[in-house]
């Protein structure tokens, strides 16, 4: 039987979610650039997700420190002991990023239903365009999406720090686009679920409602692990 809390989250999330997602937008998973083969390039240590079994573990993130929208250092050590949801975006993106960030806003709204989530969960959006996305730019972007201070963190940094974290740590693709591409930087449309120890526990399609509902259900399962 599905836990009551999950049903509540799903019901509210469905009410919040946008009715239409642009069909021409393509998402891509770990290790596959946008618009190409989306097959996963990472294997969990536990592949079966039968009811009652723990979520799979896809790998431990490396220690990192970037800069948040308030201009303060922020990294893995600030997230230890928290469950967090992370995506990759950049503010000049007009393709998948508005959908991704809008979806994160909906997740933020859904999480407000459960008081225990307030202290134990963080949303994190990492910019792949640190040369343009300064802290001030990210601050305005965060405010435009009504990001809750201290709960939804936007991070930026030098490309030499950010891109290896995304590629080698999050196991997501990021690369320069071709001149005729709609996006200056190609990056993933996935949202990841990270546990309190910094281990990746799930990859979800951030560009549609079904993926975000699945994430919320798995987040509840992860919280129940303790």
Look up the pTM and report it: 0.79
**Per-residue model confidence (pLDDT) at position 181:** 64
CA 64 to each of CA 87, 96, 125: distance values in angstroms, whole numbers, following the listed order: 16, 26, 14
Q: What percent of the chain has pLDDT over 70?
A: 74
The pLDDT tens digits of the residues spanning 31-82 come to 333 333 233 444 444 433 445 578 999 999 999 999 999 999 999 999 999 9
The secondary structure element, H or E, covering residue 203 is strand 199-205
C-alpha–C-alpha distance, residues 191 and 152, integer Å: 14
Domain-embedded: residue 63: yes
Report yes or no on 29 lying in a domain: no
Report the CATH number that the domain containing residue 128 is assigned in CATH.
Answer: 3.40.30.10
- At 113 the pLDDT is 80
Whether 26 is covered by a domain: the verdict is no
Tell me if 28 sits within 8 A of 173, measured CB to CB: yes
| Tens-digit pLDDT profile for residues 92-118 | 999 999 999 999 999 999 998 877 777
Could you tell me if residue 23 is inside a domain? no
Rounded (10°) angle between helices 209-224 and 4-16 = 150
Q: For residue 211, is pLDDT > 90?
A: yes
Instruction: Say if 28 falls within a structural domain.
Output: no
Instruction: Please indicate, yes or no, if residue 206 is contained in any of the structural domains.
Output: yes
Give the residue, 24 or 210, on which the prediction is more confident.
210
Whether residue 126 is predicted with pLDDT greater than 70 in this model: the reply is yes
Q: How many domains does the chain have?
A: 1
For residue 102, give every residue at least 6 positions away whose Cβ sits within 8 Å of its Cβ, in sequence order, or none. Answer: 18, 145
**What is the residue range of 211's domain?**
4-18+34-44+54-224
What is residue 40's predicted lDDT score, i.e. its pLDDT?
40
- Using an 8 Å Cβ cutoff, are 163 and 79 in contact? no
Rounded Cα gap, residues 146 and 216, in angstroms: 20
């Amino acid at each position: 039987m599905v836990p009551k809390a999950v049903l509540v989250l799903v019901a509210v999330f469905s009410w919040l979610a946008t009715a239409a997602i642009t069909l021409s937008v393509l998402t891509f998973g770990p290790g596959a650039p946008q618009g190409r083969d989306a097959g996963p390039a990472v294997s969990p240590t536990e592949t079966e997700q039968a009811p009652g079994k723990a979520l799979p573990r896809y790998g431990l993130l490396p220690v990192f420190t970037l800069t948040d929208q308030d201009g303060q250092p922020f990294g893995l050590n600030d997230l230890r002991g928290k469950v967090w949801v992370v995506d990759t975006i950049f503010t000049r993106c007009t393709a998948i990023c508005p959908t991704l960030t809008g979806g994160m806003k909906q997740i933020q709204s859904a999480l407000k239903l459960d008081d225990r989530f307030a202290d134990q969960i963080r949303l994190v959006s990492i910019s792949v365009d640190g040369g343009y996305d300064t802290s001030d730019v990210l601050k305005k972007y965060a405010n435009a999406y009504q990001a809750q201070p201290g709960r939804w963190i936007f991070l930026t940094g030098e490309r030499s720090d950010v891109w290896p974290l995304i590629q080698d740590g999050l196991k997501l693709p990021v690369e320069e686009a071709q001149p005729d591409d709609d996006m200056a930087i190609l990056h993933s449309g996935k949202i990841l679920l990270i546990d309190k120890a910094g281990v990746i526990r799930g990859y979800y399609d951030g560009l549609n409602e079904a993926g975000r509902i699945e994430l919320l259900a798995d987040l509840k399962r992860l919280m129940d692990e303790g």
